[in-house]
Amino acid sequence: MVPQDKRIQVRKAMPDDAGDFAELVLISAPSFFPAIWGDSANDVLQYMFRRPHNLFSFEHTLFAELDGARAGMLLGYDWRTKKREDIRTGLLLMKRMKLGFFLRLPPMIKTQRVFGGIGEGEYYISNFATFPEHRGMGAGTRLLLEAEEEAKQSGGVRMVVDVDADNSVAQSLYQRTGYSVVREASLSLRGGKYDRHIYRICKELT
């Protein structure tokens, strides 16, 4: 059972949460999405979030509220969802970005080689963040634990996440909740303007 703190409530996202979703995704990866989608990153994230059956949809997002205020969110999905919605995600991106999609295609393909790959039985945490004013209050831990319960219900046996090696705050939270590094990778985009070392970290579910 997920421990209960009456001040923190976790709920499934709704399409009207799009603005907070985009802001939190950009907090979780402030230079990553602008590197692959340019100045339209916020707009694209909101567009994708509002639509069902894609890997950025509200359907796959949890929000934590602290004393009634939105505190953080977690976007995650299992291996079946990834397989089922990969192509539709690309088609929706193409529809929204139009010609820009093809201009941004090389960094998106390069990114796919590092991020997001999951195998059978795995649940992938795509993006996870809390607003700065709500950090250290338990909302992040609660979101992680709720996602683990969701993964178990879908038949998942392992949690998987890719985290920036420089993000010591996120790494500390994952380590406290039982995650460990299983491999490392590097990603360089836009001629080195986005240059990161990435840890793939996992947690076995029992």
The pLDDT assigned to 193 comes to 65
pLDDT at 73: 97
Could you tell me if residue 168 is inside a domain? yes
Judge contact between 63 and 11, C-beta under 8 A.
yes
CA-to-CA separations, 131 to 24, 44, 136, 151, 184, in angstroms, rounded? 7, 20, 10, 24, 27
- Is 2 within the bounds of a domain? no
pLDDT recorded at residue 11: 96
- The H-assigned helical ranges of the chain are 18-28, 32-37, 41-49, 79-97, 99-103, 105-112, 139-153, 168-176
Q: How far apart are CA 52 and CA 29, in angstroms?
A: 23
CATH code at 176? 3.40.630.30
pTM of this structure: 0.91
Distance of CA 142 to the CA centre of its chain: 15
Asked whether residue 1 is domain-assigned, the answer is no
52 — phi, psi (to 5°)?
A: -75, 165
Residues of the chain short of pLDDT 50, as ranges, are 1
Domain count, the chain: 1
pLDDT for the residue 31: 85
Question: Given this model, what pLDDT does residue 165 score?
Answer: 86
| Structural domain boundaries, residue 191 | 8-204
Distance CA 57, CA 76 (A): 10
Within a domain: 93: yes
Q: What is the pLDDT of residue 26?
A: 95
Please tell me the predicted confidence (pLDDT) of residue 1: 47
Q: Which pLDDT score, from 0 to 100, does residue 58 have?
A: 98
